[in-house]
Amino acid sequence: MEKVISDIGIISEKEKNSETGLISKENNSGKKKKLYVESYGCQMNFSDSEIVTSILAKEGYDTTSDSTEADLILINTCSIRERAEQTVRNRLNHFNGLKKKRPELTVGVLGCMAERLKSKLLEEEKIVDLVVGPDAYRDLPNLVSQVDDGHKAVNTFLSREETYADISPVRLNSNGVTAFISIMRGCDNMCSFCVVPFTRGRERSRDPQSIVNEARDLFENGYREVTLLGQNVDSYKWSSNKEFKGKAQIEKANEQEIVNFARLLEMVANVHQDLRVRFSTSHPKDITDEVLYTMIRHENICKYIHLPVQSGNTRILEMMNRTYTRNGYINKIDAIRDILGEECGISSDMIVGFCSETEKEHKDTLSLMDYAQYDFSYMFMYSERPGTLAEKKYENDIPEEIKKKRLNEIIEKQQEISLARNKRDLKKVHKILVEGFSKRSDKHLQGRNSANKVVVFPKAAFKKGQYVNVMVNDCTTATLIGEAVN
Ligand code: SAH
Ligand code: SF4
Ligand code: F3S
């Protein structure tokens, strides 16, 4: 993924566009009504927008990329940081102009902000007709018809079971090569800074067979890479015994009946050896050696792990309720390097300026980065979120300027490390899955290597979806540059 620097740190290309979110593409199949979807936040949200589009396609909606021709505008929102919510409010103001011209236009808010604010959103943002939380999308047809009848409609019910397993997503912004598959929903961790457990509800895993079927369908339709998504994929757990519902009960099921994350990975890897498998996010407290050994056994499971550390200091980690220490985290890094080697890509998320963080504790994050040698990181300034444990227990007492200074220090450190890590890849041949043209020129293609690094090379006769061996001979902090070899 290309990375850019912004005021909130190094973020993904997708997040860079977040002033306007990820917009649905035109799909005209002759249906009567037009749906415009704009998505913010994490990959799970983008994946949910594809489920929503699938549900509404059955109700006679085609998608459009032009909000001015839409009958229904849906914004799938994120609450993770204050800024994310502000962006959505700015967009609602923008759509207000459209609604003034066409009062029959319906505007709905989906996702985490809908769940967090519920019907309060209707009072705060007069333009909104529809508020739907992440577990209530099946109710959309009914809710939209309530709006058509002249009412406002809200459903923010959180479920312990909903996984949308039977709904086949309409791929909205696909390159036709890589796709995301949600394998679980919700989160049972209670990191003190984080709003996700409140907006997404309890953790639940999706039926493994439906995941494998989705992967197989994608492969048969020309896709060559799937990323299995969850807030904490290592705690994926499913039992075929219907008596055991909910995570606590599954523990009681027979060992043979349980599918854990390592087994699921193996099942998806077995769909086809030409289908690459990635996954995100791994939690340092839950990732097991069994997962690491499964990764070595299958060439098509990519050697890349996103293992967010958040802070390099044990006192801060404890306050964050991450349930591991600096040393515990270091042990996981050691296990990855021992089992999968130096080549395995590792990335992280980090928060600077958490409540009461001292200069010395911040330095611990910097020294941990030196140890872990991340290929890249997503880096953030702490943003206090209403209702979280940290908001209730601790004071958000680090001044903005200090947060910015610390953020700049970790960004600078990460850039040095990224460049050094990329230099290690020079003069080596990497197997690349071609995803499309490079961002800068249509004479070049781009794809990623197993370790998730973007590689750019001359197009020649290669095509999207092909595997190409590329000799890397140059690099920047974010990209490897090379030429195809036989
Ligand atoms: N489930 C993933 C993270 C999901 S949120 C995990 O446990 O790692 C993505 C990232 O946003 C987090 O890893 C964290 O670094 C950041 N984040 C979450 N809440 C935040 C807050 N209140 N302020 C700043 N960054 C936050
Ligand atoms: Fe948030 Fe922690 Fe759950 Fe990640 S694991 S979603 S940071 S509560
Ligand atoms: Fe944001 Fe919700 Fe994802 S808060 S990061 S969209 S789970």
Q: Which helix (H) or strand (E) holds 6?
A: strand 3-6
Ligand 1 atom 14: the closest Cα is on which residue? 349
Specify whether 137 is located in the same domain as 258. no
Domain boundary among 376, 408, 423: 423
What 8-state DSSP symbol labels residue 240?
A: S
How many angstroms separate the Cα of 413 from the Cα of each of 182, 273, 369, 373, 477?
33, 37, 8, 10, 12
Position 239 scores a pLDDT of 87
**Quick one: which ligand is closest to 11's CA?**
1
- Ligand 1 mean position, distance from CA 328 (Å): 19
Amino acid letter at 182?
A: S
Q: Splitting the chain (486 residues) into consecutive groups of 10 residues, what average pLDDT does each group show?
A: 33 44 80 92 94 95 94 97 95 92 95 97 94 97 96 96 93 91 96 97 96 97 97 93 61 75 98 98 96 98 98 98 98 98 97 98 98 97 98 98 98 98 97 95 95 96 97 96 92
CA neighbours closer than 13 Å in the CB half-sphere of residue 127 = 23
Is residue 171 in some structural domain? no
- Best residue among 8, 22, 38, 44 to mutate for probing ligand 3's pocket (most ligand atoms within 8 Å of CB) is 44
CB of 455 closer than 8 Å to CB of 447? yes
Domain boundary among 373, 389, 423: 423
Is residue 5 in some structural domain? no
Length in residues, the chain: 486
Q: What is the dihedral of CA 16, 18, 24, 25, to 10 degrees?
A: -30
Specify whether 468 is located in the same domain as 411. no
- Ligand 1 mean position, distance from CA 118 (Å): 22
Does the CB atom of residue 231 touch ligand 2 within 6 A?
yes
Specify whether 102 is located in the same domain as 139. yes
Position 486 scores a pLDDT of 72
What 8-state DSSP symbol labels residue 26?
A: P
Is residue 299 in some structural domain? yes
Is residue 173 in some structural domain? no
The two three-digit tokens of residue 422, written as one number:
């990329």
Q: Give the burial string for 394-413 (b: 16+ CB within 10 Å, else e).
A: bebebeeebbeebbebbbeb
Ligand 2 atom 2: the closest Cα is on which residue? 191
Is residue 29 in some structural domain? yes
Is residue 129 in some structural domain? yes
- Ligand 1 mean position, distance from CA 90 (Å): 22
Does the CB atom of residue 184 touch ligand 2 within 6 A?
no
Specify whether 443 is located in the same domain as 391. no
CB of 355 closer than 8 Å to CB of 396? yes
362-418 pLDDT, tens digit each: 999 999 999 999 999 999 999 999 999 999 999 999 999 999 999 999 999 999 999
Position 5 scores a pLDDT of 35
Specify whether 187 is located in the same domain as 310. yes
Question: pTM here?
Answer: 0.93
CA neighbours closer than 13 Å in the CB half-sphere of residue 19 = 4
Specify whether 187 is located in the same domain as 252. yes
The two three-digit tokens of residue 122, written as one number:
């209707």
Is residue 162 in some structural domain? no
Residue 445's domain is classified under what CATH number? 2.40.50.140
Specify whether 451 is located in the same domain as 370. no
Specify whether 28 is located in the same domain as 98. yes
Specify whether 277 is located in the same domain as 192. yes
Specify whether 268 is located in the same domain as 402. yes
Residue 62's domain is classified under what CATH number? 3.40.50.12160
Is residue 166 in some structural domain? no
Which residue in 382, 421, 441 sits closest to 8, CA to CA? 382
Specify whether 370 is located in the same domain as 268. yes
d(CA 344, CA 472): 17
Specify whether 402 is located in the same domain as 462. no
Q: Residue 458: give the domain boundaries.
A: 429-484
- Ligand 1 mean position, distance from CA 81 (Å): 9
Domain boundary among 383, 399, 423: 423
Q: Which helix (H) or strand (E) holds 37?
A: strand 33-39
- Ligand 2 mean position, distance from CA 249 (Å): 22
Q: How many domains does the chain have?
A: 3
196-241 pLDDT, tens digit each: 999 999 999 999 999 999 999 999 999 999 999 999 999 999 987 7
